[in-house]
Amino acid sequence: MATDLHDTIFMAKQERHKNLFLNYKNLNIFPVELLKDEGLQFLERLYMKRNSLTTLPDNLAQKLPNLIELYLHSNNIVIIPEAIGNLARLQSLDLSSNALQLLCPEIGRLRSLRHLRLSNNQLKCLPPEIGDLQELETLDVSMNQLMSLPDRLHRCLSLQNLTADHNLLSHVPRQLCWLHRLNQLSMAANRLTFLPLDLGRSRELQFVFVDNNMDLKGLPSYLYNKVIGCSGCGVSSPVLDGEQAEQPGEALSEALVRLPAEVKAVGSQTDSVVPLEELTMRTLHRIYHHRPTDFNLLPPITLPKSLLDLLQFPLGHCHRCSQAMFTIIYPKLFPLRDTALAGVHRRTTVSFVAYCCSSHCLQTFDLQG
């Protein structure tokens, strides 16, 4: 095996190969032949799947400076050195099925990175610096132990596919709704109880999978015309045959469980007056949001930080008229079993929820219109 490995690397150096396949080589350490002398300056793709590597060398970027793709699927890698951030040209990094418990902040220096696969590891958190990956298109963090996603993830403006299945996530950051290139979001088998009001508002987002979140009972009405997966949702307390079905008020209360802390009131059809605080926030939003300048450079406003954050990222937008909402919502429930999708989604008791900005929009909203 050692002779075969030596010959493979020697030939790659002699013939200036751009691709090197070292899969299934039973490697415990990174081959020193790859790092000798000037290394492989011309190598662009390195495949080292299904070995027994536990770490990477600190001088990897120095010896393999032109790497574009690095595939390390199914090893025993516990830690990634900080020097990983020096791979300036790297576009694809696959660290799936390893033993990672921590991801170094230097991952955010991979400014050319487009595809990052971290599934089936032991990660409990992700560094905020992931938000610095402006070119990132694919992020797979499924089958980890994540309890939250970084707030700065919304800065990955090129992100198209986000997979976070089989984690411990209890909520989805509403900032993700500002990822206007996001096409597919998969968060199946987590602990979700509530979804952002604006999820699905972006026309680009077409596929949303939240299957097997047992306590999730409400889906934003924006998702009605999307391809969704919600099997196994809302089944934590199923209604058995012969039992009395839930009353509308009870179903709405369950769909709104664990509302964001910013929601200070839930309006109804009989509430004809919008609270003053909400009207003030809407006015400030109109004044500041449409100015052609960075929000951070705006004049200071005497408001708590939480409300300032709301000005930048509203709680949601009215599903009827698109008015930004900040402290109050007017919800309207549409049980999935009563919609045209009932035949497609059977093992679920979820409802679509329209979040409106006033009693007028609440009364006039039509899910299919």
Residue 273, both tokens: 């007056």
pLDDT of residue 291: 61
| Burial tier of 19 (Cβ tally within 10 Å: 0-12, 13-18, 19+) | exposed
Distances (CA, A) of 81 to 54, 56, 72, 196: 11, 7, 14, 36
User: Among residues 190, 17, 154, 165, which one has the least CA distance to residue 96?
Assistant: 165
Domain boundaries, the chain: 267-276+302-334
Cα distance between the two ends of the chain: 66
Phi, psi of 266 (to 5 degrees): -120, 115
pLDDT of residue 243: 43
Give the Cβ contact number of residue 14 at 10 Å. Answer: 8
Place of tokens 């590597």: 53
Q: Using CA atoms, how far apart are residues 356 and 365, in angstroms rounded to an integer?
A: 8
CA 335 to chain centre: 26
> For the whole model, what pTM was predicted?
0.91
pLDDT of residue 237: 54
Mean pLDDT by 10 residues, the chain (369 residues): 80 90 94 84 95 94 95 96 95 98 96 98 97 98 97 95 98 94 98 95 97 94 95 68 53 75 90 91 83 55 71 92 95 90 80 95 90
User: Among residues 296, 300, 328, 292, which one has the least CA distance to residue 312?
Assistant: 296
Q: Using CA atoms, how far apart are residues 68 and 43, in angstroms rounded to an integer?
A: 8
Contact 330, 317 (CB under 8 A): no
List of E strands, the chain? 19-21, 45-47, 69-71, 92-94, 115-117, 138-140, 161-163, 184-186, 207-209, 218-220, 227-229, 265-266, 316-317, 324-325, 328-335, 351-356
